[in-house]
Structure 1
């Protein structure tokens, strides 16, 4: 029995290696903290042995990282999960934005103060400066918030 277990333990790394590949991932060379914008400085390529099917979960090029914001602490020499980074916020909480209500022939604009930060496509709450009413709207790529007919 002990011989069988020992043999199985010896063969396990070989079985794993048969189904794994050496793949290059991008890793930080210094700690990157949550909320920090990532630049190309301090990034390097490092080889890892991993199953090819799992490789898509990790960042493999600098283009996937530059300009993004870390969602969690990224440690030096460790591969970065794709979901550990995010696009930077387009709308900042508390910074005045334009609210737009558009029905085709009628366009109404107002100023509002976002209650939360958001990326393009996010649904956020915004307080209308003139009326004080809180409305929900979708963040547009140009930094405005579309309210009403969505």
Structure 2
């Protein structure tokens, strides 16, 4: 768009035949271009949003989307890692009490556990075409993707592995 404006201004200057007119028009176009770049339309201006609970949510509860709402931030001093969309908090579990009308910090949320401490899981080891499975007991609760320690219930050996979406724990060779 800037190239079109410059060409148009240059062609207008040729028609007028004066160098002063070209400079005047070029400076006017440059000023308008600067103003249009600095002024945002209401559609472009993004108002910051924050997610707040509509009721008190206690630690360990799964947050449902009907328990929270997104509101416009009116405090310009609000900073930190607060949730800005309902999708960021829906399905998460809170680790502290969330009071109604207060901003939800993302540090107060965690993913649901895929495996729980002491409950039976399947341990899987893959090495090329070889696959070994065994029964195990996690030594800690963990979410999908977490690296945890698990005890092989048959041998008593403790190994480390990654929690998968299906609830199995995949271990790798040392």
- Is contact 1:69-1:88 (8 Å) kept? yes
Q: Is the partner of 1:49 in helix, strand or coil?
A: coil
1:28 is matched with which residue? 53
Match of 2:129 among 105, 113, 135: 105
In structure 2, the partner of 1:42 is 67
Tell me if structure 2 keeps the 8 A contact 1:125–1:134.
yes
Which residue of the partner structure matches residue 136 of structure 1?
160
How far apart are the structure 2 equivalents of 1:42 and 1:118? Answer: 25
> Comparing both chains, which one has the higher relative contact order based on Cα–Cα distances under 8 Å and sequence gaps of 6 or more?
1
1:90 aligns with 2:114: yes
TM-score, normalised by the number of residues in structure 1: 0.76
Corresponding residue to 2:79 among 42, 51, 54: 54
Structure 1 residues 50, 36: closer, same or farther in 2, change over 3 A?
A: same
Q: Alpha carbon RMSD of aligned pairs, Å?
A: 2.2
Q: Greater helix percent: which structure?
A: 2
Compare CA radii of gyration and give the structure with the larger one.
Answer: 2
TM-score normalized with structure 2 length: 0.66
- How many aligned positions are there? 129
Gaps of 5+ in 1: 1-20
Query: Please, which runs of 5 or more residues in structure 2 have no aligned partner?
Result: 1-45
More strand by share: 1
Q: 1:73 to 1:93 in 2, by over 3 A?
A: same
Displacement of 1:67: 0.7
